[in-house]
Structure 1
């Protein structure tokens, strides 16, 4: 896991684009909440940072400029922190119960005649692999499979 910060953030952005944002997954995995929060903060927090900077300049003037810069950088960096977390999460190995669920989903897809690129080494399955299989299952199976497979 010796990745650079930039490649980890890129992996997080890719992971957030490939993860299926389905309501059934909200209670099982934190990815849905983190992806929604990160995309929301990407849209909203830059405007809040500008408003925060303007208000602090109006109230305190340039005497609190270091605090203004620190708060603005914190607000602007929040989406980056979310993508970084998602990048780390995408490269994390699956626990045994999720490996079993992954295998069950692959079997279900194969039973329905859908080709799945299956990993040979089930001990090195990552969350990104689970996300790709879930995305394929949501696209090509009925919506009830998630209740029956978990």
Structure 2
């Protein structure tokens, strides 16, 4: 159980690095907002936990130490919850409309003569959001942004 939880969190971190956070994708995908909030929480949460723990310890003394530690652990889990949510989303299968959009972008990249590193699934294999993220990242690097805007 713990290994699968850690695997999902690691997948979420990788997915957050692969996904292109472009403004055009905000209206269609939740990933941009979730990646932004999770990475912000990862930077801000540790100093806030130290400050919060020090102030609570100063106000209430060591009698409330178990409560202060429990609260600190809860606050520390906030970024992990975001990465977990991204990991679950990365492994989720694409709906049929998104699969068609994936194929359109893949064909456009191939027409431009770009060596595609994204996965081209065999019949019967399902595409995942992680695969879409990889393809979109490559499309944003190789194609003009007008194609992505027009295809949304």
Q: TM-score, normalised by structure 1?
A: 0.92
Conserved? CA contact 1:99–1:122, under 8 Å: no
- Aligned match of 2:135: 133
**1:20 and 2:7 equivalent?**
no
Which runs of 5 or more structure 1 residues have no equivalent in the other structure?
A: none
Which runs of 5 or more structure 2 residues have no equivalent in the other structure?
A: none
Q: TM-score, normalised by structure 2?
A: 0.91
> Whole-Å Cα distance in 2 between the matches of residues 32 and 19 of structure 1?
8
Give me the CA root mean square deviation: 1.4
Q: Where do 4+ consecutive residues of structure 1 move more than 6 Å?
A: none
> Whole-Å Cα distance in 2 between the matches of residues 122 and 62 of structure 1?
60
**1:106 and 2:106 equivalent?**
yes
Cα distance, 1:122 vs structure 2: 6.5
Q: How does 1:7-86 map to 2 (within 5 A)?
A: 7-86=7-86
Please, which moves more after superposition, 121-130 or 100-109? 121-130
